[in-house]
Amino acid sequence: ASGKEKWPRGEEEAWKEGLKGVDSDVKSITKSVVNHVNTSLARQAYNLDDFGAYQASALSVRDNLIAKWNETQLYYTKKSPKRAYYLSLEFLMGRTLDNALLNLGLKGQYTEGIKRLGFNMEDLLEQERDAALGNGGLGRLAACYLDSGASQELPLWGYGLRYKYGIFQQLISPEGAQLEAPDPWLDNQNPWELPRLDVTYEVRFYGYAERLNDGTGRSVWTGGQEVLAVAYDVMIPGCYTKNTNNLRLWESKPKRGFDLNSFNAGDYERAIESSNSAAAITSVLYPNDHTSFGKELRLKQQYFWTAASLADILRRFKNIGKPLSAFPDYVAIQLNDTHPTLAIPELMRILIDEEETPWDDAWNIVTNTFFYTNHTVLPEALEKWPVPLMEHLLPRHMQIIYDINMYFLQAVEKKFPGDRDRLARMSLIEEGFPKQVRMAFLACIGSRRVNGVAELHSELVRTTILKDFVEFEGRSKFSNVTNGITPRRWLDQCNPELSALISKTLGLQKPVWLKDLFRLEGLLKLVEDKKFRDEWAAIKQRNKERLANLVKTTLGFTVNTNAMFDVQIKRLHEYKRQTLNIFGVIYRYLTLKKMSAEERKKVNPRVVFFAGKAAPPHVGFSFSFDLVRRALIVPKDYIAKLTIRLIVNVARVINDDPETKDLLSLYFLPDYSVSLAEVLIPASDISQHISTAGTEASGTSNMKFCLNGGLLVGTVDGANIEIAEEVGESNVFFFGHLAPAVEDLRYQHVYHPVPIEEKCPALANVLNTVSGGMFGDGGVYDPLLNTIRQGDYYLLSDDFDSYIAALDLVDEAYKDKDEWVKKSIRTTAKMGKFSSDRAINEYAESFWNLEAIKVPQ
CA distances from 146 to 139, 450, 793 (A): 11, 20, 37
How long a stretch of residues is the chain? 857
Minimum gap (Å) between residue 466 Cβ and ligand F58: 16
* Contact predicate 239/515, CB 8 Å: yes
Pairing status of strand 449-452 against strand 208-211: unpaired
The total of other beta-carbon atoms located within 10 Å of residue 321's CB is 8
* Contact predicate 725/604, CB 8 Å: no
Minimum gap (Å) between residue 376 Cβ and ligand F58: 5
Nearest residue (CB) to ligand F58, 146 versus 825: 146
Nearest residue (CB) to ligand F58, 375 versus 540: 375
* Contact predicate 615/642, CB 8 Å: no
Minimum gap (Å) between residue 683 Cβ and ligand F58: 22
Longest C-alpha distance within the chain, in Å? Answer: 90
User: Which residues make beta-bridge pairs with 713?
Assistant: 688, 733
Nearest residue (CB) to ligand F58, 71 versus 696: 696
Minimum gap (Å) between residue 339 Cβ and ligand F58: 7
3-class secondary structure, 613:
coil
Phi, psi of 371 (to 5 degrees): -140, 140
Among 162, 253, 449, 576, the active-site one is 576
Phi, psi of 715 (to 5 degrees): -90, 170
Minimum gap (Å) between residue 336 Cβ and ligand F58: 9
The total of other beta-carbon atoms located within 10 Å of residue 364's CB is 16
- Burial of 339 by CB count in 10 Å (0-12 exposed, 13-18 middle, 19+ buried)? buried
The answer for residues whose C-beta is within 8 angstroms of residue 21's C-beta and 6 or more apart is 63, 64, 65, 66, 67, 68
Nearest residue (CB) to ligand F58, 56 versus 132: 132
Minimum gap (Å) between residue 536 Cβ and ligand F58: 28
Among 570, 588, 737, 789, the active-site one is 570
Q: Where along the sequence are the contacts to ligand F58 (CB under 6 A)? A: 135-138, 141, 288-290, 375-376, 381, 453, 483, 696-700, 718
* Contact predicate 311/201, CB 8 Å: yes
Nearest residue (CB) to ligand F58, 52 versus 452: 452
CA 428 to chain centre: 27
Q: Where would I find the beta strands (DSSP E) of 492-560?
A: none
First to last CA, the chain: 20
3-class secondary structure, 19:
coil
375 is catalytic: yes
Nearest Cα neighbor of 556 from 446, 463, 636, 670 is: 670
Minimum gap (Å) between residue 839 Cβ and ligand F58: 10
Nearest residue (CB) to ligand F58, 381 versus 412: 381
Pairing status of strand 370-373 against strand 449-452: parallel
How far apart CA 350 and CA 789 sit, in angstroms, is: 54
CA distances from 426 to 278, 378, 476, 556, 599 (A): 36, 18, 19, 56, 61
Q: Determine the residue with CB nearest ligand F58.
A: 137
- Burial of 406 by CB count in 10 Å (0-12 exposed, 13-18 middle, 19+ buried)? exposed
Nearest residue (CB) to ligand F58, 482 versus 797: 482
How far apart CA 635 and CA 632 sit, in angstroms, is: 8
Amino acid 295 reads K
Among 396, 477, 704, 746, the active-site one is 704
User: Which residues make beta-bridge pairs with 384?
Assistant: 438
Minimum gap (Å) between residue 453 Cβ and ligand F58: 4
Nearest residue (CB) to ligand F58, 289 versus 468: 289
Nearest residue (CB) to ligand F58, 700 versus 715: 700
Minimum gap (Å) between residue 98 Cβ and ligand F58: 23
Amino acid 845 reads E
Among 571, 641, 789, 830, the active-site one is 571
3-class secondary structure, 50:
helix
Nearest residue (CB) to ligand F58, 287 versus 710: 287
User: Which residues make beta-bridge pairs with 158?
Assistant: 86, 247
* Contact predicate 191/55, CB 8 Å: yes
Minimum gap (Å) between residue 149 Cβ and ligand F58: 16
* Contact predicate 231/250, CB 8 Å: yes
**Cis amide leading into 658 (omega within 30):** no
Nearest residue (CB) to ligand F58, 499 versus 643: 643
Phi, psi of 189 (to 5 degrees): -60, 145
Nearest residue (CB) to ligand F58, 240 versus 385: 385
Minimum gap (Å) between residue 405 Cβ and ligand F58: 24
For helices 636-654 and 782-789, angle between their N-to-C axes, nearest 10 degrees: 110
The answer for residues whose C-beta is within 8 angstroms of residue 417's C-beta and 6 or more apart is none
618 is catalytic: no
How far apart CA 567 and CA 271 sit, in angstroms, is: 52
540 is catalytic: no
Minimum gap (Å) between residue 834 Cβ and ligand F58: 11
570 is catalytic: yes
Nearest residue (CB) to ligand F58, 131 versus 230: 131
How far apart CA 389 and CA 295 sit, in angstroms, is: 9
Amino acid 710 reads G
Among 36, 162, 290, 375, the active-site one is 375
3-class secondary structure, 166:
coil
* Contact predicate 760/800, CB 8 Å: yes
Minimum gap (Å) between residue 699 Cβ and ligand F58: 5
3-class secondary structure, 592:
helix
Residues with catalytic function: 375, 570-571, 576, 700, 704
